[in-house]
Chains A and B, each alone.
Chain A
Amino acid sequence: MESDVLVVDDSAAIRKILQRVLRQTGMAIRAVHEAGDGQEALEQLKNHPDVRLVLTDINMPKMDGLQLLAAIKASPACHGIPVVMITTEGGETKVGEAVKLGAAGYVRKPFTADQIKEKLAGILEPALPL
């Protein structure tokens, strides 16, 4: 089954790179939606109930990635959606907080396409061969 993915990052450059990388993973992805902060992400989740994975930065204006993660896990409609953190934060404090809040995984920036693919392997289904 093809899945919708939501990419959340205040950098348009990173959103663009993740769009490209996600298309190259060979996973069954139908659409990649984007948001520039946590508040926009919650709006996108309302507008796109088919989202099956959220990839989010941590340091963002308005609502950061940890607040977004907490909001998703507290939402009856969204709490089952896996959330993977993609961030420059390599310290144990924020990563540990994300794990406690229920993050499905963590990828540190800078990242390679293979690291993203590896992280998503257990979450999204591979695309069916044509």
Chain B
Amino acid sequence: MNLQELIVDSIRRSTAEVFTTMLAVDLGEGLFSVENGSPAFNDGVVSFIGVAGLWAGTGSISCSPALACRLCSLMLMADSIAVDEEVLDAVGELTNMVIGGVKTELETHLGPLGLSVPTVVFGRNFKAKSAGTTDWNVVRFQWEGETLLVKLCLAPTEKTGHPSLHPAGSSCALEV
């Protein structure tokens, strides 16, 4: 299995575990794609969390305002009808748990990794770009007519000592 397959499998497993345990929601398997080049415009709620260590990058969850409110309502068992601080906090915590689960799986292969606290953005027609040129591994989940994107970009830092490992890894296999 190469690193890209490992990342995608980890995203699927961790997202499923978090959503079934905390929200009683089955999101299904989710479709994988690679996002590269100029980032697309966003509308809605986007949460980011930094990953650091011998490999570094960013994890992200994004969805519409309506889905963010729905997820917050399920998580807190209380109605959320508009994106407020509580909704942003809930999306940030979901990101923390999902990417935290991915991080824990990846640590077995990539060594110790650290997580930042999440940052959540709500707005319209904005672009978000992470420094560097690494491709994003994207898993797109569909639920109740809405889309939830879980993304991770990860690249070796200078200390890694494995220059042959490529973060998108399909041609540079990391055997695990």
Give A residues with C-beta under 8 Å from B. 10-14, 16-17, 20, 59-61, 87-91, 93, 109-112
Query: Quick one: closest B residue to A61, CB to CB?
Result: B117
CB of A13 within 8 A of CB of B75, answer yes
Cβ 8 A contact of B92, one of A11, A110, A112: A11
Query: Quick one: closest B residue to A111, CB to CB?
Result: B21
Whole-angstrom CA separation of A107 from B85 in the bound complex: 26
Extra pairs beyond A12-B89, A16-B76, A112-B21 (7, CB < 8 Å): A12-B85, A13-B93, A17-B76, A60-B117, A61-B117, A88-B103, A109-B97
Q: How many residues of B contact A (CB 8 A)?
A: 26
CB of A20 within 8 A of CB of B96, answer no
Q: Could you show 20 A-B contacts with beta carbons less than 8 Å apart? A: A11-B89, A11-B93, A11-B96, A12-B86, A13-B90, A14-B93, A16-B76, A20-B77, A59-B117, A60-B117, A87-B100, A88-B97, A88-B100, A88-B101, A89-B115, A91-B112, A93-B112, A110-B17, A110-B21, A112-B21
Q: Does B139 contact A (CB under 8 A)?
A: no
Cβ 8 A contact of A90, one of B92, B96, B104: B104
Please name all residues of chain B whose beta carbon is closer than 8 Å to the beta carbon of A17 when the two chains form the complex.
22, 75-76
Which 10 pairs of residues, A with B, have the shortest CB-CB distance? A88-B100, A90-B104, A110-B21, A11-B93, A13-B90, A110-B22, A110-B18, A91-B107, A109-B97, A13-B93
Identify which of residues 15-51 in chain B touch chain A, using a CB-to-CB cut-off of 8 Å: 17-18, 21-22
Whole-angstrom CA separation of A61 from B118 in the bound complex: 11
Whole-angstrom CA separation of A88 from B14 in the bound complex: 11
CB distance from A37 to the nearest CB of B (A): 10
Query: Quick one: closest B residue to A91, CB to CB?
Result: B107
CB of B117 within 8 A of CB of A89, answer no
Query: Quick one: closest B residue to A110, CB to CB?
Result: B21
Please name all residues of chain A whose beta carbon is closer than 8 Å to the beta carbon of B97 when the two chains form the complex.
88, 109-110
Most B CB atoms within 10 A — which of A13, A14, A61, A112? Answer: A13
CB distance from B60 to the nearest CB of A (A): 16
Please name all residues of chain B whose beta carbon is closer than 8 Å to the beta carbon of A61 when the two chains form the complex.
117
CB distance from B14 to the nearest CB of A (A): 9
Cβ 8 A contact of A13, one of B86, B101, B115: B86
Cβ 8 A contact of A109, one of B76, B100, B112: B100
Please name all residues of chain B whose beta carbon is closer than 8 Å to the beta carbon of A14 when the two chains form the complex.
93
Most B CB atoms within 10 A — which of A11, A60, A111? Answer: A11
CB distance from A126 to the nearest CB of B (A): 24
Please name all residues of chain A whose beta carbon is closer than 8 Å to the beta carbon of B90 when the two chains form the complex.
11, 13
